[in-house]
Amino acid sequence: MTETTPESRQSEALSLVPKAEAAQSMKDFKSDQEVRWCPGCGDYAVLAAVQGFMPQLGLAKENIVFVSGIGCSSRFPYYMNTYGMHSIHGRAPAIATGLASTRRDLSVWVVTGDGDALSIGGNHLIHALRRNVNLKILLFNNRIYGLTKGQYSPTSETGKITKSTPMGSLDSPFNPVSLALGAEASFVARTVDSDRKHLTSTLQAAADHHGTALVEIYQNCNIFNDGAFEVLKDKQQAQEAVIRVEHGEQIRFGAPGEDGLGSKGVVRDPATGDLRVVDVAEEGTDALVVHDAHADSPTTAFALSRLADPETLHRTPIGVLRDVRRPVYDTDMNTQLEAAVENHGKGDLGALLAGNDTWTVAG
């Protein structure tokens, strides 16, 4: 695999999408529809971040499409003044795949939730990631079913008491980042609704990525699962709970140590190959793992994703975990079409219909 810089990826991911003729503002991306999420919902923050970030891309907004499934977050396209489709439960990645495969001049975004993407639409999600179609998937994870009023979701912690699980849920949750890495995703990131700056930079990285990008956005449902991510948001707790990863930087977190950086770090256990957390003061910095989002192998990214405790969310990695270059489905599909024309000439309908075995009946 050739090493490429993020800059070259950027140009490739969006190279076929026409640019805006004039400077854009956030207002250009707001539709005339009243936003109808519950007051205080984390979705508002994500919507504002996306609307605020879109002008940075500088793309003609008629060439931007948002496709969603079903769920609270899937109302998203109605609020974007771009092209959009609010489809059916779980199917947005499939629909977006057809659109992105035929229209490489579009910037296609999928908006989905934990139920939409990981339960009813799990199959489409993993296959979109595997194919690496040029689309960006924003997975709003609130660890609960909101639109159906509060059942547990495939990312809810085990034992969760909800309307449908009065004695506690029995199933183990998915870790969406681990799942995406296992599904051969070429870009996987995680961010949080309340961190506008991090959210925006993650969206930018996703937009620059050529291929399918999965961005898991932890999003608070203040009605049915309020505070689910508090541990990551509360400044004090977040020091221990959040592991921010940056490409090329040592992985450190926790209260600042002597050098002003995190007092904890991540090292590889030579015996198991797994990652573990150490006190930097005790172990020094030499053995600390340097985050490589562009590593060919997803192994370290996967190990990083497993540091998170599914119950408490302690040691949750945030940031771009993986960003690699690999063949892009719609690009290759187009290449095959071009090669077919090159090898066999442009299709001749008359010749096709006649075939090689004909006979003539004279008049």
Task: For residue 273, give every residue at least 6 positions away whose Cβ sits within 8 Å of its Cβ, in sequence order, or none.
Answer: 299, 303
211: tokens are: 């291929």
How near is the Cβ of 227 to other proteins at its closest, in Å? 30
Q: How far is the CB of 224 from other proteins (least distance, A)?
A: 21
Residues contributing to the site for other proteins (CB under 8 A)? 18, 31, 33, 60-65, 67, 77-78, 80-88, 91, 94-103, 105-106, 123-124, 127, 333, 336-337, 339-341, 343-347, 349-350, 352-355, 357-363
Q: Rounded distance, CA 251 to CA 195, Å?
A: 20
Identify the helix (H) or strand (E) that includes residue 199. helix 196-208
| Alpha-carbon span 225 to 228, nearest angstrom | 6
- Residue 28 Cβ, how far from other proteins at the closest point, in Å? 10
Find the angle CA(125)-CA(130)-CA(132) to the nearest 5 degrees.
95
Nearer to other proteins, 60 or 261 (CB): 60
Q: Tell me the HSE value of 145 on the side-chain side, using a 13 A CA sphere.
A: 20
Choose between 14 and 251: whose C-beta lies nearer to other proteins: 14
CB 164, CB 151: distance < 8 Å: yes
Closest separation in Å from C-beta 333 to other proteins: 6
Closer by beta carbon to other proteins, 62 or else 226: 62
Cβ distance to other proteins smaller for residue 102 or 172: 102
What is the closest distance, in whole angstroms, from the C-beta atom of residue 299 to other proteins in the complex? 25
Nearer to other proteins, 229 or 329 (CB): 329
**Cα distance between residue 127 and residue 22, in whole Å:** 37
Q: What is the CA radius of gyration of the chain?
A: 23
Nearer to other proteins, 140 or 253 (CB): 140
The answer to whether the CB of 116 falls within 8 A of the CB of 69 is yes
Complex with other proteins: residue 98 or 327, whichever CB lies closer: 98
Residues 196, 53: Cα–Cα separation, whole Å: 10
Q: Where do we find the tokens 């999928």?
A: 110
Least distance in Å: CB of 126 to other proteins?
8
Task: CB nearer to other proteins: give 82 or 156.
Answer: 82
Residue 41 C-beta: closest distance to other proteins, Å = 17
Burial class (CB in 10 A: 0-12, 13-18, 19+), 6: middle
CB of 182 to other proteins, least distance (A): 15
**What is the DSSP secondary structure assignment for residue 302, as one 8-state letter?**
H
Q: For residue 43, which amino acid is it?
A: D
Tokens of 125: 């999600």
